[in-house]
Amino acid sequence: MKVGSEEWTETIRSCAATFGIAVDREQGALFARHARELLNWNRKTNLTAITDPAEMALKHFADSIIPVQWLPKGARVLDIGAGGGFPGIPLKIMDPSLSLTLIDAVRKKASFLKFVIRALRLEGIEAHHMRAEEMAGRPEFENGFDVVVCRALSALDDFARLALPLLRTDGLMIALKGNITDEEIEAARRSGPEGLHVEVSRYVLPVLNAERGIIIMRRNR
């Protein structure tokens, strides 16, 4: 299988369908372009350790779009530590109504994000070389997002600590992770305000049989 081929795109489409998500031809083509640009940049700069075609299709793209079913139409979304653009850019491709901001503390990753946004001709999306702590100190971003997403942060309580100052009162925090323990979930619950609701959806990525999970955190109104 070659990255960007019809077989590669069909791998994403088939996996997404198992979660009730339909990927059309135009969306598949944008995923393919994103993946090819990521590999091109990765030859010179370390953007991702995942370069196997099947793993890229499933772990980078199919896994990234699963949270789309939780995102309100037209939501203002922040992706913390977006790296190669995941999960933010695939989510934007699936729902163009989203207003998306990507941040990464590593300059070369932020540069790639800006490049790929231009290459894919995406609108309503911006990328910044910035840490979440820095963003929280700027009035234009404070409590400004409906949803904050991240993938593969080391600990849920760290994510909650970073996301809460940037989130509207009734906003959502969505984390994509592999191994999720009950202890980690409880630590995240304790790290937030009183009444923080934590919901966990566990699933297995087809073909790779990789155990994954989506953690959705919100303040109880």
Answer whether 154's CB lies under 8 Å from 179's CB: no
What is the percent of the chain where pLDDT is above 90?
A: 71
Answer whether 135's CB lies under 8 Å from 162's CB: no
β-bridge pairing 125-129 and 210-219: unpaired
The per-residue pLDDT for 193 is 66
Instruction: Report the C-alpha gap between 131 and 119 in whole angstroms.
Output: 24
- pLDDT-based confidence at residue 47 (cuts at 50, 70, 90): very high
Task: List, in sequence order, the alpha helices (H) in 121-177.
Answer: 132-136, 156-163
Beta bridge partners of 177: 213
* Secondary-structure breakdown of the chain: helix, strand, coil percentages, each rounded to the nearest 5: 45, 25, 35
The per-residue pLDDT for 194 is 67
179-187 mean pLDDT: 80
29-50 mean pLDDT: 96
The architecture in CATH of the region 6-219 reads 3-Layer(aba) Sandwich (3.40)
| Residue 112 known to bind ligand | no
Which range (3-7, 12-16, 157-161) has the least confidence?
Answer: 157-161
Tell whether the model's pLDDT for residue 189 goes beyond 80: no
| Residue 31 known to bind ligand | no
Most confident of 104-108, 192-196, 205-209: 104-108
Q: Which residue has the higher pLDDT, 205 or 188?
A: 205
| Residue 133 known to bind ligand | yes
| Residue 151 known to bind ligand | yes
Tens-digit pLDDT profile for residues 125-161: 999 999 999 999 898 888 899 999 999 777 888 888 8
The per-residue pLDDT for 207 is 83
133 CB-side CA count, 13 A: 3
Tell whether the model's pLDDT for residue 198 goes beyond 90: no
| Residue 213 known to bind ligand | no
Tens-digit pLDDT profile for residues 78-101: 999 999 999 999 999 999 999 999
Its sign, for the CA torsion 109, 129, 185, 87, is: negative
Instruction: Report the C-alpha gap between 44 and 65 in whole angstroms.
Output: 27
Residue ranges per domain, the chain?
A: 6-219
Tell whether the model's pLDDT for residue 219 goes beyond 90: no
Order of strands, sheet of 196-205, starting from the edge strand that comes earlier in the sequence: 125-129, 99-104, 76-80, 145-151, 167-177, 210-219, 196-205
- pLDDT-based confidence at residue 195 (cuts at 50, 70, 90): low
- pLDDT-based confidence at residue 26 (cuts at 50, 70, 90): very high
